[in-house]
Amino acid sequence: ASEIWVLDKLALREDLIAEIVVELTTLVSAAARKKLAATYNLQEFTDPLVAEAEISAVLQTIKKVSTKGLISLAETLQTDGRLKPYLLLAALRERQLGFLEAALSVMTRRSLEHVRSVIDRANLDPVKDLLKTARIPDLMYDDFWKEIKTSRQKRNF
């Protein structure tokens, strides 16, 4: 389990650029997943634990990235096949809207301004269209919409 602890520590290092932290997180996650599988042979329990730790480390990294750097980070995650719907939803739940917007921009190939406008002001149908273009599973639309509405309400108070 010490490999999982490393994920959180990596995210706290201020001297590493975000893309390097993300790459290291991938390597450590893979090693942790492999070791836990070999040690306990309970992947149905250990894989979600490792995935949660990886998401936590990425979200910690995102907090320290400039708005400009968020696009680059989202592109790195997309290239690595790690820009997943559950990561976007976790970022949205933590109110990391800049990353959500950057990620959706990368995934849909739409401008950051367009994505921001949809997230900030659009009703449900344009939001669903954006999520569909990003290949977010439609079973997750309600969760995204609920969090977007909550985010809007909190911003307006």
Residue 98 has pLDDT above 90, yes or no: yes
Average pLDDT over residues 7-19: 57
What are 108-152's pLDDT values in tens digits? 999 999 999 999 999 999 999 999 999 999 999 999 999 999 999
Q: What is the amino acid identity at position 54?
A: E
pTM: 0.74
Average pLDDT over residues 87-105: 96
Displacement of CA 81 from its chain's centroid (Å): 12
Q: pLDDT: is 149 or 5 the higher one?
A: 149
Residue 49 has pLDDT above 80, yes or no: no
* Residue located via tokens 């949809």: 118
Maximum average pLDDT range among 37-46, 75-84, 116-125: 116-125
- Alpha helical stretches, state H, 41-139: 43-62, 67-79, 85-93, 97-108, 112-121, 124-133
How far apart (Å, rounded) are the C-alpha atoms in residues 85 and 111? Answer: 19
15 pLDDT band, cuts 50/70/90, is very low
Residue 24 has pLDDT above 70, yes or no: no
Displacement of CA 154 from its chain's centroid (Å): 21
pLDDT given at position 43: 72
Q: What helix, strand, coil percent values describe the chain, rounded to 5?
A: 80, 0, 20
